[in-house]
Amino acid sequence: MSERIAVPASPSLLNNNLCAFHEKLLYCHSNQAISLNTVTPSEFVTVKTHVSISAGASFLHVQLLQNTTAITLQEGDKAIIQQASLMQIQQNCVVVLATSVGIQVWDLATQQQLYCWDVHPKCQGISPASLCRGLALLQVEDAGCLLCVGGDTGTIHTFDTSDMSRIQHNYDITHHSAPIAALTAEQAASSGTLASSDDNGTLTVFHAKSFCAFQVVHSWEGHGVPCVSIAIKSSTLIGAFYDGSVRMHSLVDGLVRTELQAHSRLLAAMAVHPTRNMFATASEDATLAVWMLSEDQSQARPLLSACWNNAVLTGIAFTGPASNSIAAAAYDTDEIAVWAFG
């Protein structure tokens, strides 16, 4: 059985359209980012958090933790949010938005826009295909943090966040030829390991020697099936593909350790547990699963399998005080479902 959380608007039909950070969940609805605040494992309070970007002078309306702030931006073209994420950069928790025209970074209270960057700042008309997608925070040894953002040209844009009062564009990685689908970074302090996937299914692992020096460590060529989500767990890169398959790649020797058919079709999202050796997947076939990895991460077995009847799942995230629940978002619904798995 699952608990249901009422939400003010349906999640958009986007891959990986749900994220969690401590007691918060965040998802996208068209030109809005909506945040929910979880209070206890069995009690959830909906906090109406709207990040809206409208046509004309772009209007950003944010409500976080029941505090409402309205901000007007001068952009001139309608922007659609492609991904929203809550991140902790140094000691600051921020809201990061990847949109169809660039990125925006806001403080958690949404009282201050910390940064705004346009993909094509000189263009009067922005093509709907010109967008940012894929967000990751990379710890670079002896240097600080880079915010990494994928682009539809295959470029990975990096931004120096060493000084939160002066975030600035840093360096572009131009390894991929297909649009970036997802990014992830190893969470170990100063590891410098960044991984990327694209719409052709190619996966690449980079090591950042410095802010402007990225070395390709591993690369697995794709075959036309998008890799919609990736995550690093210890010495393994997990890749979730649109055809329902999940592959585990060794970051030590570069070999594919195992492949499993997690869903029958259209895998839409994946999340890894912040502390335990497990991950979760969700599919547009209305099913979700929590997987337990073996000690050597060469195998995975299902710990939880559930079906949200008639739902087109778009996002999944571990949530709750000990991340012992799994939350799922679905397109064209007015609620988020939460399952406890112990």
Q: What pLDDT does residue 65 have?
A: 32
**pLDDT at position 191:** 81
295 Rama sector, left if φ>0, alpha if ψ -120 to 50, beta otherwise:
alpha
Which amino acid is it at 190? S
What DSSP state is assigned to residue 133?
E
pLDDT value of residue 128: 43
Judge whether 187 and 195 are in contact, CB under 8 Å. Answer: no
Amino acid found at 170: N
The torsion of the CA quartet 140, 144, 147, 148, rounded to 10 degrees, works out to: -20
Confidence (pLDDT) at 64: 34
Q: Name the DSSP class of 91.
A: T
- CA torsion, points 49, 51, 55, 56, in degrees to nearest 10? 110
Class of residue 188 by CB neighbours under 10 A (exposed 0-12, middle 13-18, buried 19+): exposed
Amino acid 35: pLDDT:
82
- Distance, in Å, from the CA atom of 299 to the CA atom of 288, rounded to the nearest integer, reads 18
Q: Give residue 53's pLDDT.
A: 44
Burial class (CB in 10 A: 0-12, 13-18, 19+), 187: middle
pTM, rounded to two decimals = 0.87
Q: Is the distance from CB of 329 to CB of 314 less than 8 angstroms?
A: yes
Specify the pLDDT at position 79. Answer: 75
> What per-residue confidence (pLDDT) applies to 112?
77
Q: What is the pLDDT along the chain (342 residues), one digit of tens a residue?
A: 788 988 888 999 999 999 998 778 889 988 888 888 765 433 444 444 444 444 333 334 333 333 223 233 344 456 788 999 989 988 888 889 998 888 999 877 666 788 989 876 544 444 444 689 999 999 987 668 999 999 999 999 999 998 888 899 999 999 999 999 999 999 766 689 999 999 999 999 999 988 889 999 999 999 999 999 999 998 999 999 999 999 999 999 999 999 999 998 899 999 999 999 999 999 998 999 999 999 888 889 999 999 999 999 999 999 988 899 999 999 999 999 999 887
As a whole number of angstroms, the distance between CA 60 and CA 51 comes to 5
- pLDDT for 106 equals 82
CB atoms within 10 A of CB 130: 17
Can you give the pLDDT at residue 272?
A: 95
179: DSSP letter: P
Name the 3-class secondary structure at 166: helix
| Distance (Å, whole) CA 64 – CA 19 | 15
